[in-house]
Amino acid sequence: MSVAVRQLQNTVRELLADGKGLLAADESTGTITKRFEAVGVESTEDNRRAFRELMFTAPDVERWLGGVILYDETIRQSTSDGTPMPGQLVERGIVPGIKVDRGAKALALRGGEKVTEGLDGLRERFEEYRDLGARFAKWRAVIELGDGIPTEAALVANSHAMARYAALAQEAGLVPIVEPEAIMDGTQTIDRSAEVSDAMLRELFTQVRGQGVVPDGLLVKTNMVVSGYRAAQQAGPEEVAERTVEVLRRTVPAAVPGIVFLSGGQTDDQATDNLDAIARRGPHPWTVSFSYARALQGAAMQAWAGKPDNTSEAQDIFRDRVRRTAAANRGELGT
């Protein structure tokens, strides 16, 4: 079966045109419930819908966002004026995407490590999501760092599942975002972060090749190479940029059209300062951009706090974060 590579490449071009990036608004109900609880908002279906509508109708953001990743619940919801969420995005020239993995579950016989599930029935789910308007997809693998982990077993299992997902996405005509995330909230040095990120991406592309996935028709979403957030010594943006680009150049083929970063629990300022430093080291073999959830949404969610009266102020805060992140993505943060 041949892959419609041109179609995939056109989607990638739309997503990342002119320095645009992605908004990850695809938190599972469990994850968004945690985020809502932190700002005192009850996680009802309507509150989840209202916050997503707030972001998708915020002024100007189509100038800086090429795509939004949706969650299964959201892609089926409508804005308060009755427009389906994907249609609301398309109207603004933003490409809708869908998270299709079903979460990271305990990997058998490997206390503590995880493997992402969600392959069963995925071909049929892709058909449905395509009918609902999705043109790209996302699958996240969680790689934990610690004593003796990640193991080879965890890297292989996660990469293999991700490559199978990517093959199904390409078959369905959706651009797969493969998202291996090395978790950065430990005490590890930046050297250890680099070592794990390198091994993780290396295994991913072994599996991607093994499954016949076309590298020209996918996007990589991954962590920046940073010091563990609880490490005594914290690398600054220049070192983060240098180490991140070094790892990516060694592991991600130049045929891959784009790499987007997750914010991964960095503060809003770290997420923009580090992105700016990475951009200033360009040009890179791939287009580099952002696909943040927390670093774009956090401040807006706090300002909104579940109160309709705060919507417009929260939209302004959201727009400013998106604009600032896009400026960082052009290496123009300080200008």
The set of catalytic residues is 179, 221
Which is nearer to ligand 13P, 15 or 293 (by Cβ)? Answer: 293
Min dist CB 34 to ligand 13P, Å, is: 11
Residues in the chain: 335
Min dist CB 140 to ligand 13P, Å, is: 4
Min dist CB 25 to ligand 13P, Å, is: 9
Crossing angle of helices 294-304 and 45-56, rounded to 10°: 110
Distance CA 93, CA 240 (A): 33
Which is nearer to ligand 13P, 3 or 279 (by Cβ)? Answer: 279
Single out the residue of 218, 293, 317, 322 in contact with ligand 13P (rule: CB under 6 A).
293
Six-digit token string for 62: 């189509």
Min dist CB 264 to ligand 13P, Å, is: 4
Q: Interface with ligand 13P includes 294 (CB under 6 A)?
A: yes
Binding mask 241-280 for ligand 13P (x = CB under 6 A): ---------------------xxx----------------
Cα–Cα nearest to 159, from 194, 107, 124, 195: 107
Distance CA 235, CA 259 (A): 22
Choose the binding region for ligand 13P from 144-152, 162-170, 232-240, 288-296 (rule: CB under 6 A): 288-296
Single out the residue of 68, 134, 288, 295 in contact with ligand 13P (rule: CB under 6 A).
295
Q: Interface with ligand 13P includes 24 (CB under 6 A)?
A: yes
Identify whether the C-beta of residue 328 lies closer than 8 Å to the C-beta of residue 277.
Answer: no
Q: Interface with ligand 13P includes 165 (CB under 6 A)?
A: no
> How many other C-beta atoms are found inside a 10 Å radius of the C-beta of residue 140?
23
Cα–Cα nearest to 201, from 176, 227, 221: 221
Choose the binding region for ligand 13P from 1-9, 86-94, 110-118, 287-295 (rule: CB under 6 A): 287-295
Total residues at interface with ligand 13P (CB under 6 A): 10
Identify whether the C-beta of residue 228 lies closer than 8 Å to the C-beta of residue 183.
Answer: no
Min dist CB 226 to ligand 13P, Å, is: 12
Residues in contact with 221: Cβ distance below 8 Å, sequence separation at least 6, in sequence order: 138, 140, 177, 178, 179, 259, 260, 261, 262, 291
Distance CA 260, CA 290 (A): 5
Q: Which residues contact ligand 13P (rule: CB under 6 A)? A: 24, 140, 179, 262-264, 292-295
